[in-house]
Amino acid sequence: MSDKKRIFSGVQPSGNLTLGNYLGALKNFSLLQDEYECLYCVVDLHSITVRQDPLLLKDRSYAVLALYLACGLDPDKNILFLQSQVSGHAELGWALGCYTYMGELNRMTQFKDKSRRHADNINGGLYTYPVLMAADILLYKSDMVPIGQDQKQHLELARNIAERFNNIYGDTFVIPEPFIPKTAARVMSLQEPDKKMSKSDDNANNFVTITEDPASIMKKFKKAVTDSESEVRFDEVNKPGISNLMNIYAAVKSISIEETAKEFENSRYGDFKMAVGNAVVDALTPIREKYNELMNDKGYLDSLFKKNALRAKEIAEPTLKEVYEKIGFIV
């Protein structure tokens, strides 16, 4: 077994991944792969909390794996796998649900948001979603979880569940730490910069997908909402649109907000928006090309999923056994 610290994170195959997913999550995943033992999961069990078309769901699961690879994750170094192929997630999820209070789940803001957006389908899975996420993380005794800002509350809950279980049964789970990027932890919508850029947004002008064609990306950045001033200055309260674009530029260029402000201190909004669009296109073009290649070889993607489900199970099964034993199940 490796003595590296362990990382776990997941992305839902619930739509085409956006620039927000890339900057908040995927870009950082590849930066961590040498220093840590990493498991990156395609969390299809989570995605059915919102109704999914079966054929499309399969395709999107392959697409998330292809994007993991296209964003630079080495399939030998990292365990890139599909959640539904490792049954321990659902099993531990059930057990941990019995150590989670409804009061805790009632406080989850993602549940409240999604209930509003999917008022015709507020199902039990949507409500217990954070318990399954806790199971994902704790099943591998993960030390660290790279996530965007929006998932911080879920991670806090996972920590609380782990501590509660450990207090009752003795040391079992590792208490995981969040890893949230400094810039672009929360990429905002291009048209409504007071809300998060989300792949399941109804208005396609609000987001840019990782595999979108360059002309369309440029068009969306040209149209991005700004404000009635003319100065490129970072002020998230009074200038949310401009600040979001500055965040995006800083993150894709891997520079600071201060450096971004300096670079554009004398620029007009129109020129600034073009520069952000171009920087995004430059960063995403090699990813799109690699992604298209990989999506033409589903056999390869399938074989990776199969192989890596076995690797994940080797770590998951002993934890589940330990938990079952402690609870009092006959194993």
Q: Which stretch binds ligand LTN (CB under 6 A): 65-73, 97-105, 143-151, 311-319?
A: 143-151
Our finding on whether 308 is near ligand LTN (CB under 6 A) is no
| Rounded-to-integer distance, Cα 76 and Cα 232, Å | 43
For 23, counting Cβ atoms within 10 Å of its Cβ (0-12 exposed, 13-18 middle, 19+ buried), the class is: buried
Q: Which stretch binds ligand LTN (CB under 6 A): 2-10, 26-34, 218-226, 252-260?
A: 2-10
Residue 114 annotated to the active site: yes
Closer Cβ to ligand LTN, 130 or 240, answer by number: 130
Closer Cβ to ligand ATP, 56 or 331, answer by number: 56
Three-state secondary-structure class, residue 164: helix
Number of Cβ within 10 Å of residue 265's Cβ equals: 10
- Quick check: 8 and 39 in contact, CB under 8 A? yes
* Max Cα-Cα span within the chain: 70
The secondary structure of residue 81, as a DSSP letter, is E
Of the candidates 114, 239, 253, 273, the residue annotated as catalytic is 114
H or E element at residue 204 = none
Q: Compute the least distance from the CB of residue 302 to ligand ATP, in Å.
A: 21
- DSSP lists the bridge partners of residue 9 as 40
Closer Cβ to ligand LTN, 6 or 154, answer by number: 154
Listed residue (188, 211, 192) closest to 203, CA to CA: 192
- Quick check: 243 and 237 in contact, CB under 8 A? no
Q: What backbone torsions phi and psi does residue 201 show, to the nearest 5 degrees?
A: -70, 140
> Which of 6, 7, 8, 191 lies at the binding interface for ligand LTN (CB under 6 A)?
8
> Which of 80, 131, 197, 281 lies at the binding interface for ligand ATP (CB under 6 A)?
197
**With CB under 6 A, what is the number of residues at the site for ligand ATP?**
21
Closer Cβ to ligand LTN, 136 or 143, answer by number: 136
Q: What backbone torsions phi and psi does residue 161 show, to the nearest 5 degrees?
A: -65, -45
| Residue sitting closest to ligand ATP (CB) | 24
Closer Cβ to ligand LTN, 60 or 154, answer by number: 154
| Rounded-to-integer distance, Cα 284 and Cα 145, Å | 24
> Which of 71, 126, 144, 145 lies at the binding interface for ligand LTN (CB under 6 A)?
145
Residues lying near ligand ATP in the complex (CB under 6 A) = 11-12, 14-15, 20-21, 23-25, 147-148, 150-151, 185-187, 196-200
For ligand LTN, the binding residues (CB under 6 A) are 8-10, 12, 43, 46, 133, 136-137, 145, 147, 151, 154
Just list the catalytic residues: 114, 196, 199
